[in-house]
């Protein structure tokens, strides 16, 4: 049961507005029982990571900086202090529950290679059964990159292997998009070859510092994927105190696009759900596209079957978060 | 919102049966949202500690061993491994939320001096306003003992100062009991002098390896204290799998006495609530006494006012836990 | 046996050039046996801290950011990554050996209050004997600021108490200088009252983001203080690879002033020793002044006694580092 | 530049006598500059581990307990406290410098599987070039066991694959010995296939709780291996204070056998060097055998070439430690 958030803006955001100050940041959600449905490991206290790009673009070397920790995010004094000082136009944040892999900095998302940054919310079903095949297919650069022991990091290595050159100085949006399609397709092939029937939850997120690709995907025709939301607007700022933030739309321009495994504000209208088995692409010019991931697990919205995906699987994994948190809160306060 | 547990038995218990295996251990409760009522900091992910005495009594040097950590207890591999190996007849366990003091080994309970071991669940109201006066009253041995910056550790130093010799090789039950009375009385005096009106929550627990003293106390005539429960029996063991434990009473003998801030089994009848502003004394011979802490905040059970203490204050602090968890669970499963 | 370094420049420096890349940074010195003379605890592996101010001056809120860690600096991946990204015109770096105080983030230098940043290399002799008196003299703001249990942090609290308002938005150079004089004087008074005869090593360093004050001081008339050096120039940069840095003086301007407990380059001429019981003041305009700390432990340079201070005491503490490291290295390579 | 120590005794030893109290324990050596020859990473501050078996033998489940840490051993308060309490007849201790693999609990030795415990001092040359081949040869049980990313842990997985059943309840001495021979042979084959010419340093140590096997090995005909020593006697105890220990031989019986990468006492006669490319076997009955590892890198003692192995390679790696530390100390005190 991990959580992640992506921020991409035309102007840099101070990390504190994304991570430490909002009462609905992924870090503060980490101890909010309203949203916790996974009984087995419910609070994202198993480490976190944040990655960001410089405010100034440097074509030669535009690599993200990463800060990770194995102590819980919510009382990490270094994170609190750094978040007040660092500004960035493109940020990935991730909190982790150790569904797989031990508690170790090596296992904290986001993972980085050159310009690329990658994170995952979900899990590859029966990963030990596909690990050897996946590894065998990797070129050395990807194979040797992996430091930890999570399905997520190996998925990143697989993604790297689908790019013409994962160490390149620049990527096109199409390269990243196609590599993501191929990554999901390969993971599905491995699972099929291994006879795995449990669905894999593949909410991946990758960026090269310019394009952002995020997927909401499950290898199932009948289950909902882990939740994924986006919001866009002109400014993301606090109102009224108490860590309550909202997204404002001053005009037609979209200066900010956020993608997150949970809505990060109380405002219902701020957040749109990304549909199961769709990909969101944020282009360098801040255009946002939704692209269906069409394979045997896909159901077109026109097909009535698209409405009957069940939520039990993702919910059991603690990965399904509804939008209307106000309602949930109300319910709980009454109980 | 801390939690603690005390085990005292005529035979040693393997720490795993107390800490890591039961689904209702304080460690696993740490991520169980059913019992979490404190919205502000709800999961005891801010470090933990366990202290235990040797199975073999050594009159010359019977000092407890302590293992503490600032990473959450629930995925501490060292704790899991040690708990499978270590057996002890007298164990203190504590999980912590940083209501006061920073995340640091120095701030992890239990605290130790010579034979003594001490822990606290609750908080001294407006502690900075009384800290200087408390420190001024301490002898050097107690003043210099303090390594961290929590109200709890200073309360232990104050307790030390109320003993004839805190570094003694042995203590009588009366010495420990009287020192505890005096500690609470002094803390109340300091608060009064400083004009503090918010109640302090003083669930303290101390032992010398033979006697155990635990208090359920609040410096208020109208509020309930943080919860405190005890259980006694012949064996504490798993049944049916899944980490479900129960206390069995094979005969009249009480081989095991447990005191905990929350019931540690699902069995309703296993646990008795200790009344607000009472002290529990477990003697070296395993007798269990409840002694009222009679001062201006005390209400005798015969007084109808004793029934009207309100639970809001302790509940807000995340420190009031009802017994009937089965009911709670049922409610939540429905919602 | 700690080590510190101060950088103040008219332009920001990337922290990596100060901390992680130079083979003679305080971090890499931390495992360089040539310079290690303290047999008891010789390698600064007990945590570190770095503090820095923004490149952009903000009169309203010009507070430093701090990054601290209790794992050794030399393999802290977060430090390595952050140091490649962060630039600052005024940096404090500190590596620590636990001569006093436990291993805890609370005990890592530099310490911060408002605009102020403070660090210490040395030790207050018999500090437990003066701690209570020092604390009693502190106003609440300083008393309550202390989170850890080191002599150094209490010395900072004492320094705060010598300022008109330690929480002020700005300070004059004279205020900081005078507060430093008073801090040393008070510590000497406390020691005298307590009958302490062992000298205290008081290499302090403080800044408000504009002025920097550093002392090389020992409360002894016959011993040398812990070593302290400075260097100034136009650029501080790598040459020839291998982490070898040097200070260049392109012209008369001094764009960079560094103060450090050890010379940070191999170049003999780069570094000047600050004399025992002197203070160095770097003004906001980058003027560098040496001011003698004239008290009963002071010997004027004209007095022949000034040449007879012995080095055993500081050397035993691991705090005396000679300049000519090339020679030392040569000797060792032969042996 | 790691260090390890093995203790096997007919009676349990308190871990403190092995680890924390001796001034020459591997932990205290970790900051002793006399023995530090590796300029690149010289102090074993990158984590440690200790593993031990119960004093009471349990045929059904005789698995070791492990305590590991990524903070330096010398100021780990948990280690200091536990070492005073835990007694064991068979102990492995290991301090680590990150020549390969990141700072992570997963990378701390000793590694454990079932009854088996394994550690390594040295390094597999160009390990990334052989990693894939090694992994492909592993059965799933060994492949899936690996949690970290070190050559050492993969070497343990390879060792597991050479046993009839690595999860067995018991092993014969011959099984363990043969598996060790095969492990070294396979690593040499992998290196040869990959065209690796740099020698690998393979000081391995393995036990099942009864037999102990330790190798001093290098895949070179001209270089010395990393150092390895043993000592045996009746009692290992402190004398004269100051953490000075010695091995006493009260009679012919050998109640204690220690194997260590460095002599752990000042007493010259206490320690015997194990010859390069030899294996030491300590049987369950406490017999100690030296067995040559005869392959193409072996030179019989009768061959004059056996005297001409050069020490530069192991010395450069910080892995060659001479016996006569008194002499070294004397030299250094003069310089």
- Secondary structure letter of residue D199 according to DSSP: P
Contact B85 D65 (CB under 8 A): yes
Q: Residue range B197-216: average pLDDT?
A: 97
Residue D285 C-alpha, separation from nearest chain B C-alpha, in angstroms: 25
- The 10s digit of each residue's pLDDT in D216-259 is 999 999 999 999 999 999 999 898 877 888 898 877 777 999 99
**Of residues A15 and A43, which shows the higher confidence score?**
A15
- Out of A57-71, A109-123, C175-189, least confident range: A57-71
A51, A54, A82, A117: which to substitute to probe chain C, counting the most C Cβ within 10 Å? A82
For residue D120, what pLDDT band results from cuts at 50, 70 and 90? very high
- The 10s digit of each residue's pLDDT in A44-73 is 567 899 999 998 888 777 899 999 998 878
Residue B269 has a pLDDT of 83
Q: Which chain B residues are closer than 8 Å to D77 by Cβ?
A: 68, 105
Residue A30 has a pLDDT of 52
- Name the residue facing B71 among A39, A42, A103 (closest C-beta): A103
Taking the CA atoms of residue D240, residue D241, residue D247 and residue D250 in that order, the dihedral angle to the nearest 10 degrees is 50
Q: What is the b/e burial string over A179-210, where b = at least 16 CB atoms within 10 angstroms of the residue's CB?
A: bbbebbebbbebbeebebeebbbbbbbbbbbb
Give the neighbours of chain C: at least 3 Cβ pairs within 8 Å. Answer: A, B, D
**Of residues C274 and D76, which shows the higher confidence score?**
C274
D39, D40, D44, D45: which to substitute to probe chain C, counting the most C Cβ within 10 Å? D45
Residue B254 has a pLDDT of 79
Handedness of CA D256, D262, D264, D267 (dihedral sign): positive
pLDDT of A330 higher than 60: no
- Out of A292-306, B35-49, B109-123, least confident range: B35-49
**Of residues A20 and B322, which shows the higher confidence score?**
A20
ipTM of the complex: 0.87
Q: Which chain C residues are closer than 8 Å to A54 by Cβ?
A: 85
- Which residue in C has a C-alpha nearest to residue B108's C-alpha? C104
Residue B2 has a pLDDT of 82
CA distances from B7 to A49, B22, B51, B262, D11 (A): 38, 14, 11, 13, 30
pLDDT of D334 higher than 90: no
> Which residues of D are marked as active site?
2
Tell me how far apart the alpha carbons of residues D11 and B232 are, in angstroms, rounded to a whole number. Answer: 37
**Number of residues in chain B:** 335
Tell me how far apart the alpha carbons of residues B180 and B208 are, in angstroms, rounded to a whole number. Answer: 13
Contact B81 D65 (CB under 8 A): yes
- The 10s digit of each residue's pLDDT in C291-327 is 999 999 999 988 888 888 988 888 777 777 665 543 3
Which residues from A are below 8 Å from C when comparing CB atoms? 54, 65-69, 77-78, 81-82, 84-85, 105
- The 10s digit of each residue's pLDDT in A169-221 is 999 999 999 999 999 999 999 999 999 999 999 999 999 999 999 999 999 99
- Out of A151-155, B13-17, B321-325, least confident range: B321-325
Which has the closest alpha carbon to B134: B158, B164, B159? B158
Contact B98 A75 (CB under 8 A): yes
Residue D307 C-alpha, separation from nearest chain C C-alpha, in angstroms: 23
Contact B65 D84 (CB under 8 A): yes
D1, D36, D43, D315: which to substitute to probe chain C, counting the most C Cβ within 10 Å? D43
Q: Residue range A103-118: average pLDDT?
A: 94
Q: Residue range C69-87: average pLDDT?
A: 89
Contact C41 D33 (CB under 8 A): no
- The 10s digit of each residue's pLDDT in B275-307 is 999 999 999 999 999 999 999 999 998 888 888
Which residues from C are below 8 Å from A when comparing CB atoms? 54, 65-69, 77-78, 81-82, 84-85, 105
Q: Which chain B residues are closer than 8 Å to D54 by Cβ?
A: 85
Q: Which chain B residues are closer than 8 Å to C140 by Cβ?
A: 128
Residue with tokens 């560098």: C288
- Name the residue facing C36 among D33, D41, D45 (closest C-beta): D33
Q: In degrees, to the nearest 5, what angle opens at C-alpha D177 toward C-alphas D173 and D69?
A: 95
- Name the residue facing C98 among D36, D45, D75 (closest C-beta): D75
Q: Residue range B7-20: average pLDDT?
A: 94
Residue B114 has a pLDDT of 96
Residue D132 has a pLDDT of 95
Q: Residue range B78-97: average pLDDT?
A: 93
- Name the residue facing D43 among C45, C70, C71 (closest C-beta): C45
Average pLDDT, chain B: 87
- The 10s digit of each residue's pLDDT in B139-157 is 999 999 999 999 999 999 9
Contact B75 A32 (CB under 8 A): no
Q: What is the b/e burial string over D107-117, where b = at least 16 CB atoms within 10 angstroms of the residue's CB?
A: bbbbbbbbbbb
- Which residue in A has a C-alpha nearest to residue C49's C-alpha? A78
Q: Residue range A232-250: average pLDDT?
A: 87
pLDDT of A324 higher than 60: no
pLDDT of A1 higher than 90: no
* % of residues, chain D, pLDDT over 90: 64
pLDDT of D187 higher than 60: yes
Residue A180 has a pLDDT of 98
pLDDT of C263 higher than 90: no
Residue A276 has a pLDDT of 95
Cα atoms found within 13 Å of the Cα of residue C41, Cβ hemisphere only: 17
- Name residue A236's beta-bridge partners: A247
Residue A106 C-alpha, separation from nearest chain C C-alpha, in angstroms: 10
Contact C135 B140 (CB under 8 A): no
Q: Residue range A134-155: average pLDDT?
A: 95
Helical (H) or strand (E) element with C281: strand C278-282
Which residues from A are below 8 Å from D when comparing CB atoms? 102-106, 128, 132, 135-136, 140, 143-144, 146-149
**Of residues C6 and D103, which shows the higher confidence score?**
C6
Q: Which chain B residues are closer than 8 Å to C106 by Cβ?
A: 102, 104, 106, 148-149
- Name residue B273's beta-bridge partners: B229
A108 belongs to the catalytic site: no
Contact B135 C132 (CB under 8 A): yes
Residue D29 has a pLDDT of 62
- The 10s digit of each residue's pLDDT in D32-51 is 433 333 333 445 567 899 99
pLDDT of C32 higher than 50: no
Average pLDDT, chain A: 87
- Which residue in A has a C-alpha nearest to residue D136's C-alpha? A132
Contact A147 D105 (CB under 8 A): no
Tell me how far apart the alpha carbons of residues A154 and A141 are, in angstroms, rounded to a whole number. Answer: 12
For residue A251, what pLDDT band results from cuts at 50, 70 and 90? confident
Residue C110 has a pLDDT of 97
Tell me how far apart the alpha carbons of residues C136 and C140 are, in angstroms, rounded to a whole number. Answer: 10
- B/C interface, count of CB pairs below 8 Å: 39
- C/D interface, count of CB pairs below 8 Å: 52
- Secondary structure letter of residue A35 according to DSSP: G
Tell me how far apart the alpha carbons of residues C259 and B9 are, in angstroms, rounded to a whole number. Answer: 60
- Out of A297-301, B240-244, C183-187, least confident range: B240-244
Residue C227 has a pLDDT of 92
Residue B192 has a pLDDT of 97
- Which residue in D has a C-alpha nearest to residue A139's C-alpha? D132
For residue A325, what pLDDT band results from cuts at 50, 70 and 90? very low
- Name the residue facing C31 among D42, D75, D103 (closest C-beta): D42
pLDDT of A34 higher than 70: no
- Which residue in A has a C-alpha nearest to residue D128's C-alpha? A144
Residue C96 has a pLDDT of 82
Residue C80 C-alpha, separation from nearest chain D C-alpha, in angstroms: 13
C1, C35, C72: which to substitute to probe chain D, counting the most D Cβ within 10 Å? C72
* % of residues, chain D, pLDDT over 70: 89
């Amino acid at each position: 049961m991990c959580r992640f958030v992506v921020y991409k803006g035309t102007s840099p955001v101070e990390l504190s507005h994304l991570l430490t100050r909002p009462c609905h940041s992924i870090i503060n959600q980490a101890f909010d029982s309203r949203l916790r449905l996974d009984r087995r490991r419910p609070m994202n206290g198993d480490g976190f990571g944040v990655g960001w790009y410089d405010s100034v673009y440097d074509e030669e070397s535009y690599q993200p900086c990463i800060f990770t920790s194995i102590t819980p995010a919510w009382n990490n004094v270094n994170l609190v202090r750094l978040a007040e000082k660092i500004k960035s136009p493109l940020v990935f944040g991730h909190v982790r529950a150790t569904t797989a892999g031990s508690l170790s900095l090596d296992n904290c998302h986001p993972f980085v290679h050159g310009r690329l940054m990658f994170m995952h919310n979900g899990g590859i079903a029966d990963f030990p059964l596909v690990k050897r095949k996946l590894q065998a297919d990797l070129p050395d650069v990807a194979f040797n990159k992996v430091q930890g022991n999570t399905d997520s990091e190996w998925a990143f290595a697989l993604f790297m292997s689908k790019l013409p050159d994962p160490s390149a100085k620049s990527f096109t949006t199409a390269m990243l998009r196609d590599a993501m399609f191929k990554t999901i397709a390969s993971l599905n092939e491995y699972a099929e070859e291994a006879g795995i029937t449990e669905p894999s939850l593949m909410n991946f997120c990758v960026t090269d510092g310019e394009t952002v690709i995020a997927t909401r995907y499950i290898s199932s025709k009948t289950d909902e994927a882990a939740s994924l939301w986006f919001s866009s607007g002109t400014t993301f700022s606090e109102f009224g105190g108490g860590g309550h933030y909202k997204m404002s739309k001053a005009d037609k321009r979209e200066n900010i696009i956020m993608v997150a495994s949970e809505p990060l504000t109380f405002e219902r209208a701020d957040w749109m759900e990304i549909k199961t088995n769709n990909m969101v692409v944020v282009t360098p010019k801040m255009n946002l596209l939704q692209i269906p991931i069409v394979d045997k697990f896909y159901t077109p919205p026109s097909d009535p079957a698209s409405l009957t995906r069940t939520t039990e699987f993702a919910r059991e994994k603690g990965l399904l978060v509804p939008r209307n948190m106000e309602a949930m809160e109300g319910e709980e306060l009454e109980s």
